[in-house]
Amino acid sequence: MKLNFTGKHIILILTVLLSNLIVAQVQDNAQLVLTANLNTTLSLDIQNTVITFDFNTVSDYQNGLGENGENSVEGSVYSTANWELSIKSAQDSLTHSDGQHSIPLNYVGYKVGLTGNYGSQRISTAAENDPVALTNMPAIVLTKAEKTNAGTNEDNAFEVFWEMGTGNGNTNAISLLEGNFKKGTYQTTIDFILTEIL
């Protein structure tokens, strides 16, 4: 018996043989776990850690000091996450060196200006135009705006302008002269609190 194969038969036979080889192949597989750690880095830099108001004249006592921005502190934030910055006093008042006398915190006020590459689309300030009275409760002064405020120190630079006894904004309107406080040195510690926000 003679077999007569045509081209179509040969292609069909090769297709069947190859498909059997493909099905019969041995396989092995392995898996790996890919991990991405998105760590938060928050760093606050405050350039000047001492502000001093020297009240010497009747005008100083009546009108206050710092209204023209001469008492300021520069700062910046480096962050890989969105953040907010709060300011508060660590004490309930400015305390005299004798430990017996004090001046209410609301005689001190501050304004915050943005000086870095990021503008108001990335950082919102709650104390830009009018001074905010200092309290012993955290007051948020800088926070994320429309876009992320994560960035470098150059992006997130700011300046805090301090004043005392001016009566501006919501600070105490009674002058230091009228307050008749004991003469001497009064101090409080200011806390800058940097917090990650989601």
Separation between Cα atoms, residue 190 and residue 176, nearest integer Å: 21
- The secondary structure of residue 27, as a DSSP letter, is -
From residue 71, give the alpha-carbon distance in Å to each of 30, 64, 104, 108, 161.
64, 12, 19, 12, 6
The answer to whether the predicted template modeling score (pTM) of the entire model surpasses 0.85 is no
What is the spatial distance between Cα 75 and Cα 155, in angstroms, rounded to a whole number? 11
Structure confidence at residue 43 (pLDDT): 96
pLDDT at residue number 120: 83
Looking at per-residue pLDDT, the higher value among 53 and 5 belongs to 53
pLDDT digits (tens, 9 = 90+) for 156-186: 999 999 999 999 999 999 999 999 999 999 9
> Does 5 or 189 have the greater pLDDT score?
189
Closest CA to 127 of 143, 138, 109, 141: 141
Query: pLDDT tens across 125-161, in order?
Result: 988 889 999 999 999 999 999 899 999 999 999 999 9
Q: Domains in the chain, ordered, with CATH?
A: 42-196 (2.60.40)
